[in-house]
Each structure stands twice: as structure tokens, then as C-alpha cells.
């Protein structure tokens, strides 16, 4: 790990909030240097706690005790101020490229540490597209969520008895959005490449997650 707190774009976590979520992003920029410059530019008013380069170099941009500006508008479960309740991790990636092995290995090491420091469970590791499904797609369809889940660094669904899809998504934590938007966000993470109308496979996978990992409300609604 290199660097420490070079971004001026942060504030205090509101109402004494503690992180209960980790939000994963891709930078959607041509290089890690370009992404770092933007995340540290006061005029951009964006930042993240951590930035991981393609070669695995990991840089801290904002102290984890502080509120970085990475999530923007959105919600997860009852949490509407996601920035105050989360740790943001940016992965240097154009949005269409695969995530290299050194970068994924570095992310796994970082996740273990963050989850331990803040007692964040695997279901608390989410995509930017999960909490802002109407405007974000990162970390995108090429990100290997199943790999993280196998190490208990996130979650992955199994087939269960199909149930009402919208109800399951609410239990999992997804915010209010148009049905087609929510379907797209769910598939982006758990069924990349799937197309067509909502089906029993979507309902079965969502039902499993809703039964095993329902949002418990401990993060509050701030």
C-alpha cells in the first residue's frame, strides 16, 4: 500500500455514523493516474477511501473514519446517506476491460482488512450499481462477484423456490426504481449476460438472497 489521504474531498460522517457497507466502483477512466488526479481534484468534488491500480498497487485517498464522496444519490436498505455509512473502493478500469489478477488479489486483501476493522458482513459488500441502479453500472458485468463470495467477501445466490421478485429485492436492500431498472441491476451483478423479461431464474436467485441475507436495518436510515 502506498500514499495516505491525498484527497481533499471528504467530510465528517454525519450523526456519528459508522461504516456498515463497502461500495465497489470502477473508475471508467483511461489510467489509474488520471483517476487519482480526478479523485484528488477539489473542483471535481469526488473521492474514495481506496484506489487500486491494475497492478495491485493500493493507495488510500481518504481516512476510513471520514466521509468520502463516492456513492452519490442512491440508497441501500434503509440507508439514504450511503457516503456516511460506507467505505468506497475504486478499481482502475475503463469499464469494458477485465480486472487483472493482481488487482483482484489486492482487492481481496483490502476487503478482508476493511471488513474486520468495521465488522462488515459479506452482504455489506455491494456494487455502485446496486445502490444507484438508475444511473450506475459499476463495477460492471466483467467483475467476478462469485470469486469474492467463495472467500466470504461478498454473497452469491443459489436456486431457491421462486418468489415475488420485487419483494425479494426490497428485502435484499435494493432501492425503489422502475421494475426494468431493478431487473437490469440484479442481472448485472448476479446474471451478467442474461436478457429478456423477468423469469423464474431471476425470482429463484433473488428469493435465496432475500432469505439468507435480508437487510437487518442496523445501519439506520440516515
How far, in Å, CA of 205 to CA of 163, rounded?
A: 9
Query: Residues 115-137, buried b or exposed e (16+ Cβ, 10 A)?
Result: beebebebbbbbbbbbbbbeebb
**Do the beta carbons of residue 190 and residue 174 sit within 8 Å?**
no
90 is catalytic: yes
Burial of 201 (0-12, 13-18, 19+ CB in 10 A): middle
CB-based contacts of 101, cutoff 8 Å, min separation 6? none
CB atoms within 10 A of CB 157: 25
Q: How far is CA 90 from the centre of its chain?
A: 9
All three cell numbers of 148: 469474492
Burial of 56 (0-12, 13-18, 19+ CB in 10 A): middle
All three cell numbers of 27: 473508475
Among residues 34, 54, 64, 90, the one annotated as catalytic is 90
How far, in Å, CA of 129 to CA of 219, rounded?
A: 19
**Do the beta carbons of residue 222 and residue 79 sit within 8 Å?**
yes
Residues taking part in catalysis: 90
Amino acid at each position: 500500500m502506498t500514499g495516505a489521504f491525498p484527497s481533499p474531498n471528504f467530510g465528517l460522517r454525519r450523526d456519528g455514523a459508522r461504516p456498515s457497507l463497502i461500495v465497489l466502483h470502477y473508475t471508467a477512466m483511461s489510467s489509474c493516474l488520471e483517476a487519482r488526479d480526478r479523485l484528488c481534484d477539489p473542483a471535481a468534488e469526488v473521492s474514495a477511501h481506496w484506489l487500486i491500480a491494475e497492478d495491485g498497487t493500493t493507495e488510500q485517498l481518504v481516512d476510513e473514519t471520514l466521509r468520502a464522496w463516492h456513492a452519490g444519490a442512491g440508497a441501500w436498505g434503509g440507508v439514504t446517506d450511503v457516503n456516511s455509512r460506507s467505505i468506497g473502493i475504486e478499481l482502475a478500469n475503463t469499464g469494458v476491460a477485465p480486472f487483472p489478477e493482481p488487482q483482484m488479489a489486492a482487492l481481496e486483501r483490502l476487503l478482508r482488512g476493511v471488513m474486520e476493522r468495521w465488522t462488515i458482513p459479506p452482504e455489506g459488500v455491494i456494487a455502485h450499481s446496486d445502490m444507484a441502479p438508475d444511473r450506475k453500472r459499476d463495477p460492471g458485468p466483467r467483475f467476478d462477484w462469485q470469486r469474492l463470495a467463495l472467500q466470504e467477501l461478498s454473497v452469491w445466490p443459489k436456486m431457491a423456490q421462486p418468489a415475488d421478485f420485487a419483494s425479494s429485492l426490497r428485502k435484499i436492500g435494493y432501492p425503489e426504481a422502475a421494475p426494468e431498472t431493478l431487473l437490469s441491476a440484479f442481472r448485472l451483478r448476479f446474471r451478467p449476460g442474461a436478457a429478456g423479461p423477468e423469469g423464474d431464474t431471476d425470482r429463484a436467485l433473488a428469493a435465496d438472497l432475500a432469505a439468507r441475507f435480508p437487510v437487518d436495518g442496523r445501519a439506520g436510515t440516515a
